[in-house]
Amino acid sequence: MSACVRIRHDHTARSSPPSRASGIKRPHSPPPPRRGGRFRIAGADLSASITVFLIAVPMSLGLAVAMDAPLEAGLISAAVGGIVAGLLGGTPLQVSGPSAGLTVVTAELIQIYGWRTTCAITIGAGLLQILLGSLRAARGALAVSPAIVHGTLAGIGVAIALAQLHIVLGGSPLSSAAANALALPEQLGRVSPAAPLIGALTIAVLVVWPRLPGRIGRAVRRLPAALASVAIATAVAAVAAPGIARVDLPSWRSHALPELPQGPVLALATAVFTVLLVASLESLLAAVAVDKLTAGRAGGRTADSAAPAPVTPATPPVQRSDLDRELRGQGVANVLSGLLGGLPVSGGAVRSSANVRAGATGRAATVLHGVWVLLAAGLLVTALEWIPLAALAALVMVVGFQMVSFAHIRNVHRHREFLVYGATITGVVLFGVLEGVAIGIAVAVAVALHRLARTRITVTDQNGQHLVVVRGQLTFLAVPRLSRALGQLPRGGDVVVELDGFFMDHAAYETIQHWSDAQTAQGGRVVFTGRSGGRIAEPASAAHSCCRPWTPWRNHHCHDQPDQPGRPVDARRAAATWVAFPSGEHPTAGQGPTGSGRAEADTPKASAAAPTGGFDTPGDGAAVPRRTGAHRLASGLSSFQRNTAPLVRDELARLAREGQRPSQLFITCADSRLVTSMITASGPGDLFTVRNVGNLVPPPGAEAGDDSVGAAIEYAVDVLKVESITVCGHSGCGAMQALMSTGPDAPQTSLWRWLRHGLPSLERMRSRHHAWARISGRLPADEVEQLCLSNVVQQLDHLRAHESVARRLAEGALQLHGMYFHVGEAQAYLLAEGASAGSGIDEVFDRVGPGDPNHARYDITDLSDPTGLSAPGDHAAASAPAAAADPADPSGSGELERTSA
């Protein structure tokens, strides 16, 4: 019962990978860009751009203050990041601008090299970003440990907060975070009251503004907290502290442009690499975060909140990020920003999340925000010069504190990587960004080596049988302790060796192999097991534990079903049947790591004289036993007890205590190909299932002896209080075929007496008084499929005739649903809401996609689409071609000649 069975590949032209020129999207690849499309501006994009603009202006000025850069440089980088990165980047909703993560780095570069050389360094970093994006290296940047990345950003946040605290207190920051921390007592001793009060007011508004209650609070919260805090602080400072230090925007005529870098080549290369590293990581992490936010919004909720996202059902799906294109777009933006004398540019999490939550649907919002910033830089200079520096410093200080995320700390602590996280923060704060990253990488490598070398070996005696438990990875470093532990065991005794690790190198394998050979040569018995208790020496069909509990099979049962007789067996399948050791040596049939055949007493031995009907022999000569009948049942039960029962025991115990409380009654056919738990993604206690031949629901009082279905309906509705009832038909239904082929003189067998309850469905299909059922924009493929669909609709009518169902429907406490499952396509279809409720004119079964946002209208959340996300209308597009090729409609007109009842 595992998904470990190999998948057969058909190397034909049909299955060959599509060419790039074909335009077909490969799995897990970014979607191809639209060609020839116009740049459209939606109303949601316009309003979102204004929201982001109101956040970006004070943020850009504040970061420029924090870097001790020209203030107009912050506005230039915001405009360039919005317009250029917005147009060329691979994340449509990501908003780029001056980088908070590069605050410390840029400030240090300005102090060492001056502003104009720093602009040249920005250009160099942008050119390298374009190169790396062209080499498709963006995904590789995400391979850095998250503990190091978040530790770097947290360390930068601490450094930003310490530097801006000096400005809030009315002073000036020093060159390093450590120096700023040591100078705080002196700064507190000569503090002036105006700047701290304005800074405290700014922080208070930032904290309180999103939490304002009531109707007035909801109205004013439309204004971003960043803009509100700076505006209120500016107004108060204009009245109460007219002499406070304010923003000073110099004339654009005196704006400094880049020059050729001057300084040691190695130091300049290090600076370029540092800007490249931090800007790229920050942009790519922000792009991944934007993808999560847009995915949560598409599902109707934000990614970090249970509150519904402000998005309408008409919001189009947002494409997944193309990280390589995003890196190239960031590179072009950095090159242009450096040429114009702006700050380094990167994707910003604060601006991007505001853009998503404001309802932006495409890159128009990002580009427009850059346009507004550009206009503000030219037209609002006088208004911007009223802003107190203390307010901007307080705003940036809060941003720095937010970069130290407690959610990230919890995650790294849960994954036992807090040491790496803490070392990275310490290195960034004390020594610098590049040094901190190097320290974090070194600590991460040391922790990984420690875990790899940490192996615990225990030996216990259990009633004369020795148990050797090996916890951890078996490498050459553990060989001395392993040899010592195995050497203390009595020779010729029975030993069980439990290996709990995923890696064993050649030295450890040979140690175990030689000891096992010696032990079995002296009459002992050795069994190798995994942590779950499955014997490693036996075939994976009985011991392999990679089975998934609710989808445990493919091509029948991988734990007991070999390939079909006469079908060639892939050598990789045979190799996967046994545990593969790192040396590349695989035990042969009937042998474990000992190679002696004594490791597993009940494993069948391969024999050259074995009849071909009893074994399928892979290419390496290993024989795989065929298990049938009672042996298959016993083997399946044993596999359940070993692999699945431990996972579901607690849940089943809870259900046993509390009783069953299913939410649905599911009436479907007894066909063995219809696995209800699989197609509905359900588990124990979810469905109250009734299965019969043809998924029939006899009407009340139809015939004596057919009360089992009615009894189940009454029990489900009156006792279990189910919320919905689903009637599910399927393709290729043998009952419907029998119903169509049987005449009036059919033999009075039990099967025919039961199938007579399907005669109303046959009459419905042939009647001119009922609309034809159809599948998602096409007519059924043939009369059998037509009858299968009509049968579902007819059985829903029979359901409504039951008194208990009619009563609950009238109360509004029950819903009925029709479903059709195409077995060959593994595709589920749901009957339209109106037809399912008995009030619709058209009986249309709509396709349920892997991410259909319209699934909520069916009120079934646990069918084959658990995510509920898909592009609207894709079912019609997918099914439309089938209508033209209908085998029952040779003319291709889409119309079939109906037969009268």
Judge whether residue 530 has pLDDT over 90.
no
H or E segment to which residue 519 belongs: helix 506-521
Mind listing the pLDDT tens digit for each residue in 249-303? Answer: 766 666 777 888 777 899 999 999 999 988 888 888 788 878 877 776 655 444 3
Report DSSP state, residue 758: G
* Residue 438 β-bridge partners: none
More confident residue, 819 or 742: 819
Buried b (16+ CB within 10 A) or exposed e, 626-648: bbeeeebeebbeebbebbbeeee
The residue type of 30 is: P
| Tally of CB atoms within 10 A around 11 | 7
SS3 708: helix
CA distances from 384 to 96, 251, 569, 736, 738 (A): 21, 13, 75, 77, 82
- Asked if 389 and 167 count as a contact pair (C-beta separation under 8 A), the reply is yes
Interatomic CA distance for residues 148 and 273, integer angstroms: 17
Residue 788 main-chain phi, psi, to 5 deg: -60, -40
Instruction: Provide the token pair at 149.
Output: 């990345």
- Asked if 323 and 287 count as a contact pair (C-beta separation under 8 A), the reply is yes
H or E segment to which residue 191 belongs: none
Mind listing the pLDDT tens digit for each residue in 708-725? Answer: 898 999 999 999 999 999
- Asked if 676 and 647 count as a contact pair (C-beta separation under 8 A), the reply is no
**Contacts within 8 Å (CB) and 24+ apart, 760-763:** 760/794, 760/798, 761/736, 761/787, 761/790, 761/791, 761/794, 761/795, 762/787, 762/790, 763/901
**Residue whose tokens read 């032990």:** 519
The residue type of 175 is: S
SS3 749: coil
Mind listing the pLDDT tens digit for each residue in 351-394? Answer: 887 788 778 888 898 999 899 998 888 887 788 888 888 888 88
Known catalytic membership, residue 14: no
Known catalytic membership, residue 673: yes
Dihedral of alpha carbons 513, 519, 524, 528, sign: negative
Instruction: Provide the token pair at 79.
Output: 């405009």
- Asked if 527 and 533 count as a contact pair (C-beta separation under 8 A), the reply is no
Q: Give Cβ neighbours of residue 611 (< 8 Å, ≥ 6 apart).
A: none
DSSP string of 102-162?
A: THHHHHHHHHHH-HHHHHHHHHHHHHHHHHHHHTT-HHHHTTS-HHHHHHHHHHHHHHHHH
Which residue of the set 218, 673, 753, 857 is catalytic? 673
Known catalytic membership, residue 669: yes
Which one, of 396, 314, 293, lies nearest residue 58 by Cα? 396
Residue 597: which pLDDT band, with cuts at 50, 70 and 90? Answer: very low
The residue type of 237 is: A
Report DSSP state, residue 14: T
The residue type of 736 is: M
Interatomic CA distance for residues 389 and 167, integer angstroms: 7
- Asked if 758 and 696 count as a contact pair (C-beta separation under 8 A), the reply is yes
Mind listing the pLDDT tens digit for each residue in 607-636? Answer: 333 333 333 333 333 334 444 556 778 878
Q: What pLDDT sits at residue 536? A: 54
**Contacts within 8 Å (CB) and 24+ apart, 846-850:** 846/776, 846/875, 847/775, 847/776, 847/874, 847/875, 847/876, 847/878, 847/879, 848/875, 849/874, 849/875
CA distances from 296 to 317, 423, 458, 525 (A): 11, 33, 47, 56
Interatomic CA distance for residues 663 and 685, integer angstroms: 9
Which one, of 484, 454, 486, lies nearest residue 468 by Cα? 486
Judge whether residue 29 has pLDDT over 60.
no
The residue type of 681 is: A
Q: What pLDDT sits at residue 841? A: 58
| Tally of CB atoms within 10 A around 322 | 22
Q: What pLDDT sits at residue 689? A: 93
Interatomic CA distance for residues 832 and 796, integer angstroms: 13
Interatomic CA distance for residues 887 and 782, integer angstroms: 7
SS3 235: helix
Interatomic CA distance for residues 233 and 393, integer angstroms: 12
Interatomic CA distance for residues 441 and 872, integer angstroms: 45
DSSP string of 540-594?
A: HHHH-----TTS--SSS-TTT--PPTTSPPPHHHHHHTSPPPTTS----TT--TT
Residue 820: which pLDDT band, with cuts at 50, 70 and 90? Answer: very high
Which residue of the set 297, 544, 730, 822 is catalytic? 730
Q: What pLDDT sits at residue 835? A: 66
Q: What pLDDT sits at residue 254? A: 65
- Asked if 59 and 202 count as a contact pair (C-beta separation under 8 A), the reply is no
Interatomic CA distance for residues 205 and 27, integer angstroms: 47
SS3 494: strand
Q: What pLDDT sits at residue 1? A: 37
More confident residue, 215 or 550: 215
Residue 85: which pLDDT band, with cuts at 50, 70 and 90? Answer: very high
Buried b (16+ CB within 10 A) or exposed e, 501-520: beebbebbbebbbebbbebb
| Tally of CB atoms within 10 A around 116 | 16
Mind listing the pLDDT tens digit for each residue in 302-350? Answer: 433 433 344 444 444 445 688 899 999 999 999 999 999 999 999 877 7
Mind listing the pLDDT tens digit for each residue in 534-556? Answer: 555 443 333 333 444 444 444 44
- Asked if 203 and 398 count as a contact pair (C-beta separation under 8 A), the reply is yes
Summary mean pLDDT of the chain:
74
Which residue of the set 119, 558, 733, 788 is catalytic? 733
Rounded to two decimals, the pTM is 0.49
Judge whether residue 879 has pLDDT over 60.
no
Judge whether residue 469 has pLDDT over 50.
yes
More confident residue, 673 or 8: 673
Torsion of CA 315, 319, 323, 326, to 10 degrees: -60
Residue 561: which pLDDT band, with cuts at 50, 70 and 90? Answer: very low
The residue type of 729 is: G
* Residue 691 β-bridge partners: 668
CA distances from 141 to 86, 137, 285, 353, 355 (A): 21, 7, 10, 22, 25
CA distances from 678 to 419, 551, 629, 744, 818 (A): 42, 7, 24, 38, 18
Which residue of the set 324, 563, 616, 671 is catalytic? 671
Q: Give Cβ neighbours of residue 402 (< 8 Å, ≥ 6 apart).
A: 157, 350
* Residue 561 β-bridge partners: none
More confident residue, 333 or 770: 333
Q: How far is CA 870 from the centre of its chain?
A: 15
